[in-house]
Structure 1
């Protein structure tokens, strides 16, 4: 075989691999990223050790919704990322009385909670404009907005919406 043909073939493969690598970096940086869940605060929706794909562009043209599972920097230490469920939207009044969650003075029913919350009281608090109140699905083992110094997550701090988990392949929300 001609040396020129071999060199052209090698260069074309190197270019394909380089373009694929750059595309993967751009997708990871601007579209989708993966997180590994280190705790049981979202069990049984997301188990300890599960990996979750998060879509960075979810809220580019819409606002987060109650029930969305999102990744964000922990408000009391932004070096650490948390994954929780949005419970309170801007303007919502959040309160827990005797282990029952109330949103705007109405009991909030949640079908993803496997055990009742411990008999505790919290609030009431009103979620500021542009912010969200977060809770883990495993309410009795979740360090969430109820316990943080800075109780709310600003919309611009939300890194993305969890859309898919594995190794037990499941779409979220």
Structure 2
């Protein structure tokens, strides 16, 4: 009986660690904000926890997404069907796409500067859930 308890007490931390690992691979993503593009909401050097949620996001949501082979953290400024002013031209955001902006307009590389300003919904990796401190 004593051996069973000893074995179980050693096995529980391993199981807990595996569960945490699975959660981070499937539910959460840990991110890093390298610039001041999202200041004051997120400071440069901030670590963030994102939740991998599939579905539609709303204007105002801060998300982690892939664009041009890089991961970005930006706020959704417009969704499919909205009209945005892009380089002096009114443009309609295509359905299934977002127009992304950083909160710090003076220091953000975002949809305003990209050759293809619209980000497909399918490239959104996660919604930023929680800033967890600085690096």
**Residue correspondence of structure 1 range 2-13 to structure 2 within 5 A:** 5=2, 7-13=3-9
Matched, 1:87 2:77: yes
- Contact kept in structure 2, 1:42 and 1:84, CA below 8 Å: yes
TM-score, normalised with respect to structure 1: 0.71
Match of 1:68 among 45, 48, 61: 61
Distance 2:31 2:89 in 1: 31
- Contact kept in structure 1, 2:97 and 2:120, CA below 8 Å: yes
Match of 1:28 among 24, 31, 34: 24
Gaps in structure 2 of 5+ consecutive residues: none
User: Which has more radius of gyration?
Assistant: 1
Distance 2:132 2:88 in 1: 34
Distance 1:10 1:159 in 2: 41
Change in Cα spacing, 1:149 to 1:10, as seen in structure 2 (3 Å) is farther
Change in Cα spacing, 1:89 to 1:95, as seen in structure 2 (3 Å) is same
Deviation at 1:143, TM superposition (A): 0.3
Distance 1:136 1:122 in 2: 19
Runs of 4+ in 1 over 6 A off after TM superposition: none
TM-score, normalised with respect to structure 2: 0.90
Change in Cα spacing, 1:13 to 1:41, as seen in structure 2 (3 Å) is same
Matched, 1:56 2:52: yes
More strand by share: 2
Deviation at 1:127, TM superposition (A): 0.7
Deviation at 1:18, TM superposition (A): 1.8
- Alignment RMSD: 1.7
- Paired position in structure 2 for 1:108: none
- Paired position in structure 1 for 2:126: 160
Distance 2:73 2:82 in 1: 21
Deviation at 1:124, TM superposition (A): 2.0
Matched, 1:125 2:77: no
- Contact kept in structure 1, 2:83 and 2:90, CA below 8 Å: yes
